[in-house]
Amino acid sequence: LTSGPAPPHPPARLCMLRVQSALRRTARVAAPRRALSHLFAGVCAFGTCAASSSFYEVTVDHAMAAAARAAQVLPTHKVTVEPCEGDEGRPMVILEPRGSPVSGLLVISHGLGDTAMGWLDAAVHVFAPAMPYTRIVLPTAATRPVTLNGGMPMPAWYDIRSLAADRSKERSDGIQDSRKEIEAIVARFATEGDEPEDGKVPHSRVVLAGFSQGAALSLFTAMQSSKALAGCLVLSGYLPALEAALEGATDAGKTIPVHFCHGDSDGVVLPEWGADALEQVTKSREGFEGAGAVSRKVYAGLDHGANMKELRDALAVVQGW
């Protein structure tokens, strides 16, 4: 999804991007800073933790202020914020290329309890400078009660009931609605033709990406896509709602390349869950002519987060699609 010469490496201050740091950024604009822990018993799951639901409140105004700061250091893209469809209080950040024409679309979905702002740094300092002609969209999940976190309302793409080792038994209530949201974003910015048209790009130039629960949603959506997309990037993710994902798998979805990235020290979304997802996706494509490649890279010592090595590798994969 890139065009033109490669830019220099992003600043060293992004040597480690973690869920905790993303949540701290959220806390600074939404509520007083609170202690964080990935493994706070009974309250934390998939990289989220909070003392009250107000911790997760990030308004469109807050997002616009952060976007304005981001735009000052990003010469390749304009940074705008608008409400997600159907929810005036839910920000969606759009990095719009200043150059013309737009040649690609990258949709990055955040993890449980986070917002679009959690991955703004990565978008601004890693992906956007290297892909000056790619539109990058960061949506925010709807706020819903999460059973695993004691029913606490927080941004979530779907409900998580438990951390049982067998993820296939999870109902993942709400995931179909979230899938439709991602598909609506793609439909808004993609054209049915094979060439860019009126600021829209072909589906073959669209990548779905995400972290943790957002990665799971991206994979679930890609498998059921009615269009052959450029690829799906799964960072510290897994395959949710297995039965629904396999039953709804499309021929177009089977052509989409999928790349998994995972830390071998992840104690939240276990590395085995990522390996199981890779196996399930691979099996679902057996014997299918034109099946997209399925690959995985594991990072030594990385917990439930993303470091600079992983982000650079992810960038290279996306550029290759």
HSE at residue 18, side-chain half, CA atoms within 13 A, is: 16
Task: Please identify which of the residues 103, 212, 218, 225 carries the catalytic annotation.
Answer: 212
Task: Please identify which of the residues 121, 159, 266, 303 carries the catalytic annotation.
Answer: 266
Q: What are the distances in angstroms from CA 280 to CA 158, 175, 179, 190?
A: 21, 18, 19, 28
HSE at residue 258, side-chain half, CA atoms within 13 A, is: 32
The residue type found at 110 is H
Structure tokens at 25: 């950024």
Q: What is the CA radius of gyration of the chain?
A: 18
**Taking the mean position of all CA atoms in its chain, how far away is CA 126?**
14
DSSP label at 15? S
Catalytic residue at 264? no
Give the C-alpha separation, 66 to 100, whole Å: 25
Structural contact between residues 206 and 233, judged by C-beta atoms closer than 8 angstroms: no
Give the C-alpha separation, 240 to 215, whole Å: 10
Query: Cβ–Cβ contacts within 10 Å for residue 33, how many?
Result: 10
Catalytic residue at 304? yes
Give the C-alpha separation, 268 to 272, whole Å: 11
Active site residues: 212, 266, 304
